[in-house]
Structure 1
Amino acid sequence: MRKVVELSAGPIEYEDNGEGPGPTVVLLHGLLMDSSLWHGTSGELSRDHRCVVPTLPMGAHRRAVNADADLSLPGIARLVAEFLERLDLRDVTLVGNDTGGALVQLLIREGAARVDRIALVSCEAFDNFPPGLTGRTLMLTGKLSPWAFGLFMQQMRLRAVRRLPIAFGWLTRRGDLDTARWMRPILTQPEIRRDTVRLLRAAAARPDLLRDSAGWLPEFTRLALVVWAGDDRVMPFEHGERLAGLFPRGRYAVVDDSYTLIPLDQPKKLAELIRRFTHEDPDA
């Protein structure tokens, strides 16, 4: 069920399958994406988990945030912490894919009091920010005015453009219908273009952000899972094992036949990995 919560930055839409008997999983998406990234995976998990999936103000959101909202990545990570508190979510398994994984890393640095376990799914890390050709191209577009940014993004209406390596072509093998839907708010709503340009400029100003945050990861002593795409062309493969090795209680898994967006390319396999992880005995 889609709901809306009013936070300090403005309205945030989210999906919540309600209270259930199993663990609570909060799933975070990346830039120019919304909660639908997780539909396949959350659908598999929902029979024995409470799945809460916010649409963060990262370019595919439908409700603009306040003009003075902090849209830096640390600011959005703090917004996630506020979201968990407002919904009174506790002992959460926090999962992030793509830039959602970067948000998880930043939230760890803030303390993550309501988080019990984390899962990083093919995401930015270390010096891979902005990530690959896709990320560098997107950050360059943030230098444009919101009007010019919107004009440039009109070409994303074309499937051939969306499938280019500078767009979504190296992020997903199978999710073009989703990527087309993610583009609609930017193409049709000036206030969403305003939010997105502010986000991109703030992100481009801190290219060292994740390299600095990596030093905090060993302090997360609870269970951590790192899942990497076997065919990832944006997030370096060696970063997966390196991330898992930083956590005192890290686990590592690879999902074959998938690009970065594993929730789109292999949702059932990812759901099974998360299910095993959330049910793992922490004292084993």
Structure 2
Amino acid sequence: MPSVELSAGPVDYQDTGGDGPVLVFGHGPPMNETQWRKVVPLLDGYRCVLPTLPLGGHRRPMRPDADLSQRGVALLLGEFLERLDLEEVTLVLNDWGGGQFLVSEGRAQRLARMVLVACEAFDNFPPGPARAMAHVCRVPGGVRLLTRLMGVRAVRRARGGYGGMSLRGIPDEVMDDWFGPATRSRAVRRDFAKFATGAPDRATLLDWSGRLRDFDRPVLVVWAAEDRLMPREHGPRLAELYPQGRLVEIADSSTLVPEDQPERLAEEMTRFLVATGAAPVRRAG
């Protein structure tokens, strides 16, 4: 897997290559690029770039002084786009919504559009059930305890936690990959704790959200009808906030729409991309 050295440390990424429009995918904590493993193969004709951000599922730790707050990771994502010289990017987010803060930080020049899939928004950082996890991460040894618990099948399948993020169920081997780095590495656990406890207060979040109105390019908001983490009303509210926002609601899915409804998600994304000037480029032969 290729890697790029950024100010906070090394960031691994996957890149399907090609001459098609560039789609950059974010992921949730403590996940990685495999969150999109069912969707990317359905997006033929697009260049899909999937960085593994330092949200706890990253395989190599960041520098000890790295800013891994919500704002810090958003700026790191912007730095990633700059280092790879990616232009006219479609930013695709699911679960983690902090990539939107590129707009509030005035760093969205490389974005042509966004696709926001059942993600954190407004003051929902972190989502309600995940706030308990943030409290655990503030306690010495809390992250180590959390990662050990995630090795217990009954805990990881609990409907109040990661088990509630997908109606289909996340395969054990995928979750093993997500939680493995923090289980093995104290430094990754340190990074995870920084991120998990790095959300600002409610007033700051709402202030940042208000600035999202400045993004005058197309935004597709895809919301899941059976989501336990992202409030149902946040979908239409987000679509209304962005000047060129549009809403699609997907039934029979929880937060991880790429897991529960990958085909429908890919269809909606492709329809939106074509309609906003980003048609796929088919490879010859």
TM tier relative to shorter chain? over 0.9
Counterpart in 2 of 1:268?
A: 263
Q: Using the TM superposition, give the Cα deviation of residue 209 of structure 1 relative to its aligned residue in structure 2, in angstroms.
A: 4.1
| Amino acid in structure 2 at the alignment position of 1:280 | A
Counterpart in 1 of 2:105?
A: 110
Matches within 5 A, 1:131-142: 131-133=127-129, 135-142=130-137
Query: What CA deviation, in whole Å up to 9, does each residue of 1:84-135 have, x standing for no partner?
Result: 0000000000011111xx22221111230100001111011122222121x1
Quick one: distance in 1 between partners of 2:79 and 2:247? 29
1:211 aligns with 2:221: no
Quick one: distance in 2 between partners of 1:262 and 1:65? 29
Taking structure 1 as the reference length, what is the TM-score of the superposition? 0.92
Quick one: distance in 2 between partners of 1:182 and 1:154? 13
Counterpart in 2 of 1:15?
A: 14
Q: Using the TM superposition, give the Cα deviation of residue 208 of structure 1 relative to its aligned residue in structure 2, in angstroms.
A: 4.0
Quick one: distance in 2 between partners of 1:48 and 1:127? 36
Evaluate the alpha carbon distance shift between residue 281 and residue 11 of structure 1 in structure 2; reply closer, same or farther with a 3 A threshold.
Answer: closer
Which structure features the higher share of helix residues?
A: 1
**Percent identity of the aligned residues?**
45
Find the partner of 1:240 among 218, 225, 235: 235
Quick one: distance in 1 between partners of 2:147 and 2:274? 42
Quick one: distance in 2 between partners of 1:106 and 1:271? 24
Find the partner of 1:170 among 164, 186, 198: 164
Quick one: distance in 1 between partners of 2:27 and 2:195? 15
1:156 aligns with 2:154: no
Quick one: distance in 1 between partners of 2:203 and 2:171? 31
Counterpart in 1 of 2:73?
A: 76
Matches within 5 A, 1:47-86: 47-86=44-83
1:280 aligns with 2:278: no
Counterpart in 2 of 1:26?
A: 24
Q: Using the TM superposition, give the Cα deviation of residue 207 of structure 1 relative to its aligned residue in structure 2, in angstroms.
A: 4.1
Counterpart in 1 of 2:5?
A: 6
Taking structure 2 as the reference length, what is the TM-score of the superposition? 0.92
Tell me, what secondary structure is at the counterpart of 1:66? coil
5+ long unaligned stretches in structure 2: 278-285
| Amino acid in structure 1 at the alignment position of 2:54 | P
**Aligned-CA RMSD value:** 1.4
Runs of 4+ in 1 over 4 A off after TM superposition: none
| Amino acid in structure 1 at the alignment position of 2:257 | I
**Alpha carbons 2:77, 2:99 under 8 Å: kept:** no
**Alpha carbons 1:23, 1:278 under 8 Å: kept:** no
Evaluate the alpha carbon distance shift between residue 42 and residue 129 of structure 1 in structure 2; reply closer, same or farther with a 3 A threshold.
Answer: same
Quick one: distance in 1 between partners of 2:161 and 2:268? 28
| Amino acid in structure 2 at the alignment position of 1:202 | G
Alignment size in residue pairs: 274
